């Protein structure tokens, strides 16, 4: 018996709902409980580098979402054909291609953004979240699940870097998405009132502090302990 | 099972070809758009030497192209300040002169574009002359454009850009706050010698009384030195042109 009957048993199982509980968990887990930045502490480099302002951070977040989701899909589709001995280099080639695509598109349609993000778009290749998900998930799971998993991880990464960027831009430059919030608030209190911006927040030290505080708050709430 | 060397090599070859085609295809499709974006960026940099960054940001790409076409004309000169209209049989256009490529040639064989900023609606009235700059920073190339007022001495404005200076340190040369330091400085001393403008080591000192010095960038002395060398070199290359304009202006004033 064995192989054949098991295969039949699998075939007879009713199709899993498009957004079953397990699949929802794939997306929601990395948002908080298993967040790539605050829990796994991956992708810190770009979280520090691109978060002085919200606009470039948003572009970076979208780029990472695209790269993680698409590479997860590609690797998952190829998972049964990729020779194990060269799987890392295959993953790297796929990721590098996607990153180059993002970079080329930015160069054509948002040249200012391309200049501002400069080297950091290219560095998505080395973002541990991308290869981490490929190795840990996409190589052993079906395409749809892998896409959801990638989406979850990328969103987990995105909301954290956007949160860091929000505080850094607000406290460091007195604005949000380039809108001068501080100027507006100062205006409410008369001409002599001025809110001071904090230069520390613009430097990478500011990112460390904000990130540390976010991790602290989050771990206090969830009660997560490093094992 | 599928792990034979032949399989691995075949797989790698197919993967490389597919990804390679994908990339070169994208590059082909997006190439013209990217060229346009780069040309627009160059115009923005040239205009940045004469009008403020906020004004440029407020303009749409079409407006920038129109503004550039209306207000900027250009000539190409050689090291002796003589106008060059064609090279090797092909007409020379200032916008197409690649400063980086010219930088590799000996100075007396290079082409030097000059961009002329006109008063609105009057192609004869010159407001300022804009000269390109190019040099080496700490890690990679730095470049920019400097605008001289019609006295050919006072700096009207400068834009600086870089390929790979350290973010937060040398990369600060792109900040308006740093570039503003150059406005109103002078490039010739009282004896008419070209001394250009030197960015100093350290930051936070007041150099407003010295027309040839600007405040430095803390932690980016080498980038600052690169900017100094670039200014000294390129203003030197354009010296003949600058002096010819200076003399013609002096004659015009004397009349």
ipTM of the complex: 0.73
Domain assignments of chain B as residue spans, ordered by start: 72-254
Whether the CB-CB separation of B111 and B196 falls below 8 Å is answered with: no
Instruction: Indicate which of A53, A111, A120, A201 best probes the interface with B, i.e. most B CBs within 10 Å of its own CB.
Output: A111
For residue A77, is pLDDT > 70? yes
Of B7, B37, B164, the CB nearest to A108: B37
Does residue A9 have a pLDDT over 70?
Answer: no
pLDDT value for B30: 92
Q: Which residue in chain B is spatially nearest to A50 when comparing CA positions?
A: B167
B123 φ, ψ (degrees, to nearest 5)? -80, -5
Please answer yes or no on whether A81 and B11 come within 8 Å at the CB atom: yes
Nearest-Cα residue of chain B relative to residue A89: B12
With beta carbons less than 8 A apart as the criterion, state whether A138 and A79 touch. yes
Whether the model pTM is above 0.80: no
Q: Which residues of A touch B18 (CB under 8 A)?
A: none
Residue A72: predicted pLDDT: 92
Beta strands B213-214 and B198-199, pairing class: parallel
Residue pair B158/B135 in contact (Cβ under 8 Å)? The answer is no
Nearest Cα neighbor of B185 from B199, B165, B172 is B199
For A117, name the nearest residue in chain B, comparing CA atoms only: B167
Determine whether the interchain pair A104/B26 forms a contact, defined as Cβ–Cβ distance below 8 Å: yes
The C-alpha atoms of residue A36 and residue A128 are separated, in whole angstroms, by: 9
Task: Name the residue facing A107 among B2, B7, B37 (closest C-beta).
Answer: B37
Of residues A85, A100, A203, nearest to B168 (C-beta) = A203
Inspect the interface and report whether the beta carbons of B3 and A107 lie closer than 8 Å.
no
**Partner B, chain A 132-151, Cβ-Cβ below 8 Å:** none
Q: Are B73 and B118 in contact (CB under 8 A)?
A: yes
| Sheet architecture: strand order including B141-149 | B72-77, B112-119, B122-136, B141-149, B155-162
| Greatest Cα pair distance in chain B | 93
Across the interface, whether the CB atoms of B41 and A111 are under 8 A apart is answered yes
Contact A65, A156 (CB under 8 A): no
Triad A122, A144, A5: Cα angle to 5°: 135
pLDDT average, residue stretch A140-157: 89
B122: Cβ contacts below 8 Å, ≥ 6 apart: none
| CA–CA dist A203, B95 (Å, integer) | 37
Å between A129 CA and nearest CA of chain B? 22
Report the pLDDT value the prediction gives residue B106, as an integer from 0 to 100. 84
* B21 Cβ under 8 Å from any chain A Cβ: no
CA distance B20 to chain A (A): 8
Residues A83, B27: C-beta atoms closer than 8 Å: no
Q: What is the block-wise mean pLDDT of chain B (255 residues), using blocks of 10 residues?
A: 81 93 93 89 86 79 84 84 76 80 82 85 79 90 89 88 80 86 87 86 84 88 91 88 78 61
DSSP B65-92: HHHHHHHEEEEEE-TTS-B--EETTEEP
Residue A1 binned pLDDT confidence (cut-offs 50, 70, 90):
very low
Contacts of A84 in chain B (CB under 8 A): 3
Three-class SS state of A112: helix
**B101 exposure class (CB count in 10 Å sphere: 0-12, 13-18, 19+):** exposed
Note whether A111 contacts B37, CB cutoff 8 Å. Answer: yes
Report H helices in B49-198: 53-58, 61-71, 99-103, 176-179
Residue B39's closest chain A neighbor by CA? A111
Interface contact B12, partner A, CB < 8 A? yes
Average pLDDT for residues A61-69, to the nearest whole number? 91
Residues with Cβ within 8 Å of B144's Cβ and at least 6 positions away in sequence, in order, are B45, B49, B132, B133, B158, B159, B160, B161, B173, B227, B230
By C-alpha distance, the chain A residue nearest B25 is A101
| Chain A nearest-CA residue for B167 | A49
Q: B8 and A97: CB-CB below 8 Å?
A: no
Contact B92, B85 (CB under 8 A): yes
Inter-chain touch B41–A115, beta carbons under 8 Å: yes
- Contact (Cβ atoms closer than 8 angstroms) between residue B211 and residue B186: yes
Q: Which residues of A touch B3 (CB under 8 A)?
A: 83-85
Q: Write out the E strands in chain B.
A: 72-77, 86-87, 90-91, 112-119, 122-136, 141-149, 155-162, 198-199, 213-214
CA distance A111 to chain B (A): 6
Mean pLDDT of A207-212: 89
Range A11-45 burial, b when 16+ CB lie within 10 A, else e: eeeeeeeeeeeebeebbebbbbebbbbbbbebbee
| 3-state class (DSSP) for residue A129 | helix
Given CB atoms, is B40 within the 8 Å cutoff of chain A? yes
- Residue A56, CA distances (Å) to A112, A152, A166, B5, B37 in order: 10, 21, 12, 44, 18
**How many helices (H) and strands (E) are present in chain A, helices listed first?**
12, 0
In chain A, what is the greatest distance between 2 CA atoms, to the nearest angstrom?
86
CA dist., res. B243 & res. A120, Å (int): 44
Which among A97, A109, A202 has CB closest to B23?
Answer: A97
Contacts A82 to B, Cβ<8 Å: 11
A134 contacts A52 by C-beta, under 8 angstroms: no
Quote the radius of gyration of chain A (alpha carbons, Å). Answer: 21
Burial of A154 (0-12, 13-18, 19+ CB in 10 A): buried
Say if the Cβ atoms of B30 and A115 lie within 8 Å: no
């Amino acid at each position: 018996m064995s192989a054949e009957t098991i295969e039949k048993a699998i075939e007879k199982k009713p199709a899993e709902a498009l957004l079953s509980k397990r699949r929802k968990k794939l997306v929601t887990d990395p948002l908080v409980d298993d967040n790539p930045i605050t829990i796994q502490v991956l992708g810190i480099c770009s979280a520090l580098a691109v978060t002085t302002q919200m606009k470039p951070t948003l572009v970076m977040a979208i780029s990472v979402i695209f790269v993680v989701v698409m590479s997860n899909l590609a690797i998952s589709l190829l998972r049964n054909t990729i020779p194990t001995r060269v799987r890392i280099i295959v993953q790297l080639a796929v990721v590098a291609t996607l990153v180059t695509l993002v970079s080329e598109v930015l160069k054509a349609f948002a040249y200012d953004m391309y200049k501002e993000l400069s080297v950091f778009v290219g560095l998505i290749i080395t973002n541990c979240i991308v290869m981490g998900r490929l190795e840990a998930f996409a190589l052993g799971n079906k395409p749809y699940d892998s896409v959801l998993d990638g989406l979850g991880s990328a969103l987990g990464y995105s909301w954290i870097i956007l949160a860091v960027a929000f505080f850094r831009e607000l406290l460091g430059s007195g604005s949000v998405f380039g809108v001068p919030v501080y100027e507006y608030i100062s205006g409410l209190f008369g001409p002599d009132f001025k809110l001071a911006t904090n230069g520390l927040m613009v430097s990478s030290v500011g990112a460390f502090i904000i990130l540390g505080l976010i991790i602290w708050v989050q771990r206090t709430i969830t009660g997560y302990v490093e094992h | 099972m599928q792990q034979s060397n032949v399989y691995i090599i075949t797989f790698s070859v197919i993967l490389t070809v597919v990804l390679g085609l994908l990339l070169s295809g994208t590059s082909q499709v997006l190439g013209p758009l990217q060229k346009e974006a780069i040309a627009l960026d160059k115009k923005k940099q040239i205009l940045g030497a004469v009008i403020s960054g906020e004004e440029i940001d407020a303009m749409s790409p079409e407006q920038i192209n129109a503004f550039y076409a209306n207000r900027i004309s250009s000539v190409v000169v050689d090291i002796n300040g003589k106008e060059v209209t064609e090279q090797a049989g092909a007409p020379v256009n200032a916008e197409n002169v690649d400063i980086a490529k010219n930088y590799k040639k000996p100075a007396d064989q290079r082409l030097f574009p000059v961009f002329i900023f006109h008063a609105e609606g009057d192609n004869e009235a010159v407001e300022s002359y804009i000269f390109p700059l190019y040099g080496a920073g700490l890690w990679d190339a730095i470049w920019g454009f400097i605008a001289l007022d019609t006295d050919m001495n006072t700096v009207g404005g400068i834009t600086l850009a870089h390929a790979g200076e350290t973010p937060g340190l040398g990369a600060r040369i792109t900040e308006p706050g740093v570039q503003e330091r150059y406005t109103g400085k002078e490039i010739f001393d009282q004896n008419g010698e070209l001394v250009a403008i030197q960015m100093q080591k350290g930051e936070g000192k007041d150099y407003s009384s010295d027309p040839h010095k600007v405040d430095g960038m803390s932690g980016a002395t080498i980038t600052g030195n690169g900017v100094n060398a670039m200014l000294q070199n390129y203003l030197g290359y354009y010296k003949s042109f600058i002096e010819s304009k200076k003399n013609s202006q002096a004659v015009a004033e004397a009349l």
